[in-house]
Structure formats: C-alpha cells, structure tokens
Amino acid sequence: MRRRFLKPNQHTFTFLLNACTKENFKLTPGVQVHCHVIKLGYARHVFVRNALIHFYFECSDATECSKKVFEEDTDSICSDVVTWNSMLAGLVRKGEVFVAEKMFDEMPDRDVVSWSTMIMGYVQNGNLEDGLECFRLMREKGIRPNEAILVTVLSASAQLGLLECGRFIHSTIESLRFRITVLIGTALVDMYAKCGCIEESRALFDGMLEKDIWTWNVMICGLASHDRPKEAIGLFHEFIREGFSPVNVTFVGVLNACSRAGFVSEGRHYFKLMVDGYGIPPEMEHYGCMVDLLARAGLIDEAVRLIETMTVAPDPIMWATLLDACKIHGLVEMGENIGNKLLKLDPTHDGHYVQLSGIYAKARKWEDVVRVRRLMVERVSNKVAGWSLIEGDGRVHRFVAGDRDHDHSSDIYKMLEIIGLRITEAGYSPKHLTCVA
C-alpha cells in the first residue's frame, strides 16, 4: 500500500496494531507502525492512540511505552473513556492494581466497562474485599452491572464465604431482572455451596434450565464438601447419563466424597476409572483425596505406596495428612519417619513440629517432645497470624487473635469475659481456656 503511495487512514493503523497484537509479533513491527503514525500525523487520533496503548500492554517488555503514549496528551480531543479503560485493563493485567485504582479515581468519565475492569482487577489480584466494596459503590451510583461483574463478585463472595454479600448480589440480579444464564446460575450455585447453604445451592441447580459441565462440577464438589457423599456420587452418575464427559475437577469432587464418607473400595474404583476409563492423569488434588481416604481408614502403608508411585512430587500437606493419621492410629515409628521427612521438606511450618511432638506425647516420649519443641523455637521465626472474617450489618469485619484495632474492641472483649464466666458457671472446666477476638 505504501509502495503505491496510497495514504492510510486511522482505520489502517488500528487494524495493523491489532494484527501485531494477535499474531504475537515481536515489538519491532509495532514500533515501525508507531513511526508511521507519527510521520503521517495520526498520533493525536483517539482510535489510533487506544490501539497503541493496547499494543504496548500486550508486549511484555513495553508497559512503560503504554504509559508514555497515554501521558503524551490527555485532553478531551484525543482521549475518551476507551483510552482510560485501555490503560486500566493493561495495568490490572500486569498486576498494578493500585496504580489502576489511582487512575480510576482520576477518570473524568466512567462507564460500566471501567467499573467491570476495576472490580475484576481487584478480584483477580487477590483483593477480594476491595472488589466487593467497589461493586457496592457502583450500585450506590445507580450503575447497572453486566454479567461479567456479577459473576466476578459472586466468585469473591464464595471465596470469602460471605453469605450476606452473596445474597445482596442475588437480590440485585433479581431486582434488575437478569436472566439466569449458565454463567450466573453456576456462580450462584457455587456461592451458596461455599457459604454453607447447600439446600439453596441444590434448589438453584435443579431449577436451572441450562447447565454446562462446570455447573455439574460445582454441584458435585459442593455436595461432597457438605458431607453428602451419596448425593454427590449419584449426581456424578446422572451427569454421565446426561452425556457429559468428566474432567479432572469432576473426579476431585467424587474422590473427595469417597474420602469424607470412608468409601475405600469406591474410591479405588473411581480413581481407576479416571485413569483407565477416561485417560485423565491424576493431579495433586486426586492423590490428596486418595491419601486422605486411605489414611482415615488406617491403611497407612497403602497410602505411603501410593505417594511413592505418584507422577508428581508430593507436597508437604500430603505427608502432614499421613502424620496426623499416624497419631490417630498410634503408629509412632512410622509417624516419626514421616515427621522427620516433613521437617526437611518444610522446616519453617510450625504445625509439623506440633504434630510430631503430639505423636511423641501420645507414646509418652517426653524427651523427644521437648527436643521437637526446641527445634520449632529455633527454626520457626516468623509465623503468619491467622485471621477471620465476620459479616454484620452490611460490613465485613476482620479479626486477628489478640488485636484491639476494631472500633468495638472493648465491647468484644467484655462479651468474651461474660461468655467465659457463663461457661464456667455452667460446669465447663477446660484444660486451657483462651479468649481471643
């Protein structure tokens, strides 16, 4: 086209830059296009600038170039909401969610894509509570969410176990008369299952007119995690009868159901079916379910043999499961071997020392108990404090053991003292009574 001395227009450059992005070209061809953009006077054209920002974000080493293109000229003539959205999307993809947050606050105009990008950016980068708060602010401003936003915030509620928040999102879906699509329906089923409302989850599942493989998987896994193994396995067989082909997640649910119910022979059957019948290679989760199943049944030797034949390297959690089983079944010698192996694999995890010392204590090997406890003090320097979330009056409250940062901290501790007195008066006399908020 250039050899024929034909002059390109703004559409030419947007197509070219899009081609460079789609074909995973190296940076050079896109930079050459950018040179033509400048020489031919299209650098201030809004569509071309948006395409340039998107292109540079897609090139892993050129994020700063996107920022430079954006900052060259941000007046209303050569920038629009798409320009800002392109920057937001690029920043959250690169994990720069707090830079994106600052830019979001500075935006002259925001549309539903802006809010969607910010909410998904928070959630995908692990800032789940911020994502939910952003959704709440969006609703306060009267902006109608799209399907992507609803699925994202339902996922965040499920991961945090925030039922009240999940119900608010469900009521939003109903009040705005959203159609229960497969994506929204699956997200709702998952949220209610993970928030402890398995009956509501099952009712939603049964009422869905359309279901895909992930809807079935969510329900199977949900039933398994709620100690309803027969229902989970029954649903698996119904899933097969409906013509679906199971995937790795499906068998995680089925094997988890067998593990929780102690169905040893069934667990062996489904593990073999997964590998031989459907050609699905076992992953860490599948092995973990089988090890847990065998350990609960006291079949420690078989569990060890399974670990030793795994196609993936076992993680410390798997050995910790066996160590706990050794304590339950009184297998001191095997527990000692597994415990020492664990301490080598993960020497900074205090729980492993506690488990091993518990085995020695059960066998009345007090010198070994003291030795392991000393090792723990020497090796475990930094322990990450555990925290919990509680919903109340539309707010999410975070608590860490021993902290006094909450607004109503004094009231909370007074109530804990009252509870301590009442359970003592009722005749409860624990060996250790510790009240923490």
pLDDT at 167 exceeding the cut of 80: yes
Are the C-beta atoms of residues 376 and 354 closer than 8 Å to each other? Answer: yes
Task: Assign domain 212-314 to its CATH superfamily.
Answer: Tetratricopeptide repeat domain (1.25.40.10)
Confirm if 343 and 323 have CB atoms less than 8 A apart: no
> Tell me, what DSSP letter sits at residue 380?
-
Residues 6+ apart with CB under 8 A from 311: 281, 282
Tell which wins on pLDDT, 157 or 384: 157
- What whole-number distance in Å separates Cα of residue 249 and Cα of residue 33? 45
Mean pLDDT (the chain, rounded): 86
Evaluated on CA atoms 34, 39, 44, 46, the torsion sign reads negative
- Amino acid, single-letter form, for residue 30: G
Query: Do 110-210 and 317-392 fold alike per CATH?
Result: yes
* Separation between Cα atoms, residue 315 and residue 116, nearest integer Å: 36
Query: Residue 136 contacts by C-beta under 8 Å, 6 or more apart in sequence?
Result: none
Q: Which two tokens stand for residue 115?
A: 């809010």
Across 231-248, b (16+ Cβ under 10 Å) vs e yields bbbebbeebeeeebebee
DSSP 39-70: HTT-TT-HHHHHHHHHHHHHSTT-HHHHHHHH
Indicate the class that CATH gives domain 110-210: mainly alpha
Structure confidence at residue 80 (pLDDT): 76
Q: Taking 60 as the threshold, does the pLDDT of residue 298 lie above it?
A: yes
**Distance (Å, whole) CA 429 – CA 400:** 25
CA 27 – CA 24 distance, rounded (Å): 9
Q: Which two tokens stand for residue 381?
A: 């320097």
pLDDT of 75 reads 56
Which residue matches tokens 């995937």? Answer: 247
Three-state DSSP class for residue 74: coil
Predicted pLDDT of residue 393: 67
Q: How far apart are CA 304 and CA 306, in angstroms?
A: 5
Instruction: Give the start-to-end residue ranges of the domains of the chain.
Output: 1-104, 110-210, 212-314, 317-392, 401-437
User: pLDDT tens digits for 111-125?
Assistant: 999 999 999 999 999
Tokens of 74: 């941000």
pLDDT at residue 275 in the model: 95
Q: Which numeric CATH code is attached to 317-392?
A: 1.25.40.10
Confidence of residue 394 (pLDDT cuts 50, 70, 90): low
Residues in the chain: 437
∠ CA 286-326-372 to the nearest 5 degrees? 115
Q: What is the pLDDT of residues 359-392, one digit of tens each?
A: 788 778 888 788 888 878 777 655 556 677 777 7
Q: Render pLDDT for 399-422 as a digit per residue (tens, 0 to 9).
A: 777 677 777 888 888 898 899 889
Averaged pLDDT, 235-261: 96
| SS3 at position 273 | helix
Tokens found for residue 11: 């559409």
DSSP string, 231-251: HHHHHHHHHHHTT----HHHH
> Hunting for tokens 């030793």 — which residue is that?
308
Q: What is the pTM of this model?
A: 0.78
Instruction: Kindly report, residue by residue over 37-88, the tens digit of the pLDDT.
Output: 888 888 878 888 888 888 888 776 667 787 787 777 655 556 678 888 888 8
